[in-house]
């Protein structure tokens, strides 16, 4: 009798805490109740008493799972659900909770099966929650389809001026694999040809932190704000890792910037949301290792190879996205990323051939070789991509250094472009080789094309903008800055529909095919006025 009274008191207290949304305290009390209830079951011989106790145990496990779900402790919540379903595999509340957990873990097809299972129950609870259940089922179907096909479309959101909440994106891993890289350590490689603007992957952040950094003359206040921001970000990553063995394991596979060639090549399947049959090793949270990983692998949202869409564009943001951490740098990159909410969308910024490594620009590749070499040092490596090797060989040509120094002294940009084009013609440069050097001197090209005075003065002595843009895209992929200059020029000259179609086609390499034609036109119009 004393034990029964204790059980009743614990159950009442736990329920009260749950209703008050005091999740942590309710878990503590439910844990005590569950432990005592399990002891009672093992010590009781009466089948009727066991049945009553098991019913209470099932409900308590379900409620504890709900509390853990609210705290985003999905792994432990899922264990509670599975334990409850061993007692009653048709328990309505547990099945709904498990479906919500799986949905938040991006395991869409399993979540769908769960909600469909609930819908098949003949219970009063089910009939009273049909609208909710059908809503979850439709959401799972949509995200499962997106995760399998990659047919994302954010056009309505873009056309509506990014109003309302961000569109829901399912995690998607396209035709890629992880292999040893000639650039550094491991890399991400395409297994099929990828067209310009096509998706490579979509993934949700382990954690993000954003703030509006204060502006000040001496930079001290901004630096302090970044330190606070960085601390908050580390705390969020540690919290996520402490609650999920998969996240802990995948973080442990990432580089800390040392002994890259000794690192194991992980299977791409580990990074997919529907990872089946994998028991991730139990390991303690290594805070020091995570700190080293974040130092090397964190991504700043507003970076040179990315674009932030929506309200987050007003913020300075940093985050950890696991699979993109394996994408190496190249000064002739073939991929860019879009940031939408907490998701990163990686897209092809130019045609990627089967077997080619996927690469980002870590720093500004529209800069001369000497400047890029300095920037690489700040990142702690030396870039040895094809473009850098070619331009390094060409540094022996004195004309290149003279043009670069002349621009630093303020020489007329039209003169510099004319001289560069003449040199390339004399050296019989072709295709990408021309694109490499035009990218290196893009600042001069953009200043020339945006100055009516320079265009009038030099006329046909400098090449038209369109072929310059084409060669740039072939060499370094789509770049928003290049696209903006082209669109502004088209607007000024009043060129027709065909030319704007050309700009839209180039826009695919910047914004991807998830933004359809009309919405892309709106983005291009906005870019003109920025």
Is residue 46 within 8 A of residue 66, CB to CB? The reply is no
Is residue 99 within 8 A of residue 115, CB to CB? The reply is yes
pLDDT at 268: 93
Topology annotation, domain 166-357? Beta-clip-like (2.170.270)
Summarised one tens digit per residue, pLDDT across range 186-196 is: 999 999 999 99
Instruction: Spell out a b/e string for 86-112, using b for 16 or more CB atoms within 10 Å of the CB, else e.
Output: ebbeebbbbbbbbbbbbbebbbbbbbb
| Residue boundaries of the structural domains of the chain | 1-149, 166-357, 372-527
pLDDT at 276: 58
* Terminal-to-terminal C-alpha distance of the chain: 75
Beta bridge partners of 335: 348
Which SS3 state, helix, strand or coil, does residue 194 take? Answer: strand
What 8-state DSSP symbol labels residue 218?
Answer: S
Is residue 285 within 8 A of residue 241, CB to CB? The reply is yes
pLDDT at 496: 58
The crossing angle, in degrees rounded to 10, of helices 23-43 and 47-70 is 160
- Closest to 208 in 3D by CA, of 233, 226, 243, 231: 233
Q: Do domains 1-149 and 166-357 have the same CATH topology?
A: no
d(CA 355, CA 189): 6
d(CA 511, CA 524): 10
- Closest to 147 in 3D by CA, of 166, 168, 173, 167: 173
User: Contacts by 230-233 with C-beta closer than 8 Å and gap 24+?
Assistant: 230/318, 233/207, 233/208, 233/209, 233/294, 233/298, 233/318, 233/319
User: Contacts by 37-46 with C-beta closer than 8 Å and gap 24+?
Assistant: 37/7, 40/3, 40/7
Which SS3 state, helix, strand or coil, does residue 480 take? Answer: helix
pLDDT at 321: 97
d(CA 355, CA 177): 9
- Closest to 358 in 3D by CA, of 169, 527, 199: 199
Architecture of domain 1-149: Alpha Horseshoe (1.25)
Query: Distances in Å between the alpha carbon of 227 and those of 1, 128, 230, 233?
Result: 57, 50, 5, 10
Pairing of strands 207-211, 172-173: unpaired
pLDDT at 218: 61
What 8-state DSSP symbol labels residue 460?
Answer: G
Task: Give me the residues of the chain with pLDDT under 70, please.
Answer: 1, 122-125, 215-221, 275-278, 494-498, 527-530
């Amino acid at each position: 009798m004393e034990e029964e009274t204790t059980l009743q008191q614990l159950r009442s207290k736990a329920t009260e805490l749950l209703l008050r949304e005091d999740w942590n305290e309710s878990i503590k009390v439910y844990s005590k109740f569950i432990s005592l209830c399990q002891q009672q079951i093992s010590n009781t011989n009466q089948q009727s008493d066991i049945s009553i106790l098991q019913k209470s145990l099932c409900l308590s496990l379900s409620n504890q799972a709900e509390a853990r779900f609210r705290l985003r402790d999905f792994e432990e919540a899922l264990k509670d659900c599975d334990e409850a379903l061993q007692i009653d595999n048709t328990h309505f509340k547990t099945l709904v909770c498990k479906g919500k957990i799986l949905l938040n873990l991006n395991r869409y097809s399993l979540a769908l099966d769960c909600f469909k299972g609930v819908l098949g129950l003949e219970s009063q609870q089910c009939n009273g929650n049909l609208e909710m259940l059908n809503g979850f089922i439709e959401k799972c179907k949509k995200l499962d389809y997106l995760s399998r096909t990659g047919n994302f479309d954010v056009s309505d959101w873009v056309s509506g001026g990014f109003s309302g909440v961000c569109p829901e994106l399912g995690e998607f891993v396209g035709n890629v694999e992880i292999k040893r890289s000639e650039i550094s350590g491991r890399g991400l490689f395409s297994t099929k040809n990828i067209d310009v603007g096509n998706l490579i992957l979509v993934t949700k952040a382990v954690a993000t932190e954003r703030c509006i950094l204060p502006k000040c003359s001496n930079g001290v206040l901004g630096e302090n704000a970044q330190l606070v921001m960085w601390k908050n970000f580390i705390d969020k990553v540690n919290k996520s890792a402490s609650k999920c063995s998969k996240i802990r394991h995948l973080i442990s596979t990432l580089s800390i910037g040392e002994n890259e060639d000794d690192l194991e090549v992980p299977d791409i399947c580990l990074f997919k949301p529907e990872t089946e049959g994998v028991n991730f090793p139990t390991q303690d949270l290594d805070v020091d290792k995570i700190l080293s990983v974040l130092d090397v692998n964190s991504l700043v949202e507003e970076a040179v190879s990315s674009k932030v869409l929506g309200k987050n564009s007003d913020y300075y943001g940093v985050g950890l996205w696991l699979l993109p951490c394996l994408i190496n740098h190249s000064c002739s990159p073939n991929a860019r990323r879009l940031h939408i909410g907490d998701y990163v969308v990686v897209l092809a910024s130019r045609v990627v051939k089967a077997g080619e490594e996927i690469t980002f620009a870590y720093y500004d590749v529209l800069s001369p070789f000497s400047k890029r070499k300095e920037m690489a040092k700040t990142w702690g490596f030396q870039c040895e991509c094809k473009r850098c090797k070619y331009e390094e060989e060409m540094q022996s040509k004195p004309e290149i250094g003279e043009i670069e120094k002349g621009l630093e002294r303020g020489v007329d940009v039209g003169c510099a472009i004319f001289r560069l084009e003449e040199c390339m013609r004399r050296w019989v440069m072709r295709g990408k080789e021309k694109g490499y050097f035009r990218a290196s001197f893009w600042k001069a090209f953009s200043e020339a094309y945006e100055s009516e005075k320079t265009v009038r003065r030099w006329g046909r002595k400098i090449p038209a903008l369109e072929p310059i843009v084409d060669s740039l895209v072939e060499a370094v992929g789509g770049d928003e800055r290049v696209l903006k200059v082209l669109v502004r020029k088209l607007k000024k000259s009043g060129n027709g529909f065909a030319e704007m179609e050309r700009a839209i086609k180039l826009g695919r390499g910047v914004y991807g095919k998830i933004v359809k034609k009309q919405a892309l036109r709106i983005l291009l119009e906005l870019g003109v006025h920025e």
